[in-house]
A = this chain, B = another copy of it.
Amino acid sequence: MRKGIVNNSLFTPVEKEIALVEKTIKHTSQVEYPWLNELLDYVVDSGGKRIRPALTLLCGKFHNYDLNLLIPMAAGVELLHTATLVHDDTIDKSEKRRGRPTASNVWGSGIAILVGDYVFAQSAELVARTGNLRVIRLFAGTLMALCTGELSQNLHSYNPDQTRHNYFKRIEQKTASLFSTATESAGILSQAPEKDIQALRSYGHNLGIAFQITDDILDFIADEEKLGKPVGSDLIQGTMTLPSILLKEWYPDDNPINDIFKNNGNKGDNLRSLELAVDMIMNSEIITECYHIANTFVSNAHQAIRHFPDNECKRSLLEIADHAVARQL
């Protein structure tokens, strides 16, 4: 059974380097205060699959592969991701992530906010180590995009008029922006020609969109136990994703979404409406259509790097894109 997006063999070409990224991440949490060490160790060692740093390392392999630049960049990208997860869990009051209590659950929301901030700073410091102003500015812009996407989701929750356009804009910001920064920065730091930098950026962007659409599909169709949260949890939290947007598009006058969103989801019988929405999504062609759309982004990702030389790194990148959609969880 595949776990997560990554069948780890996909990372084989950069396995050793990923170990160096892990070491760098571990090292950054060794600070002079034992209490801070403990906090940092807990949040950075969260069992993540390290897909983003793997992408940076793989994408750096096509040109001037300089680990002195790529390792801190890859570690910085991963820590930016870590920091956003710590804050997201705090905002959503999530009790667990990947089977472990969240930082806000263990230490309270105040400490979790500050630890997230600290990890943001660490990620910025790592990226600054590259000494490359272009990736430093790209990185700051990425954090703005991530926040804009999350803010948009929070501010527009329980709004039944969310459209496909809003959705794609939001997932570009909250997910694809960090994937594309992971891949584009590798191009910049390996001194790739501009057209290859843009190709890597496009690969990362399309992979990120496909990845997020798949996450949003799995929120409806995955096994509740494996998912670790109730089926349809996005919808119950007021967030419309591609499946529920298609439901609204296909059945504009006859769907339960308005009922679910009434009173910001605080209506006694909205669980019945949610069940109805899940049924309508499962018993239509909506999921098939969502996978079809996700696969167009996978094709775009493949297409973006079609002119790259055929080697094991390129094959990894192509397979990672396939797996982003084919995964069960």
Contacts and interface: CB of A to CB of B under 8 A. Distances in A.
Contact of A118 (B122, B131, B151): B151
Contacts of A111: 151, 154-155
A128 interface: yes
Given A111-B151, A111-B155, A115-B151, A128 B137 contact: yes
- Count copies of this chain in the complex: 2
Interface string A127-150: 011010100110111011011101
Given A33-B152, A110-B91, A148-B36, A120 B117 contact: yes
24 contacts: A33-B152, A36-B148, A39-B151, A91-B110, A110-B154, A111-B151, A113-B113, A113-B116, A114-B150, A114-B154, A115-B151, A117-B117, A117-B146, A117-B147, A118-B144, A118-B151, A121-B141, A121-B143, A122-B144, A125-B137, A125-B141, A128-B136, A133-B133, A136-B136
Interface of A: 31, 33, 35-36, 39, 84, 87, 90-92, 109-111, 113-118, 120-122, 124-125, 128-129, 131, 133, 136-137, 139-141, 143-144, 146-148, 150-152, 154-155
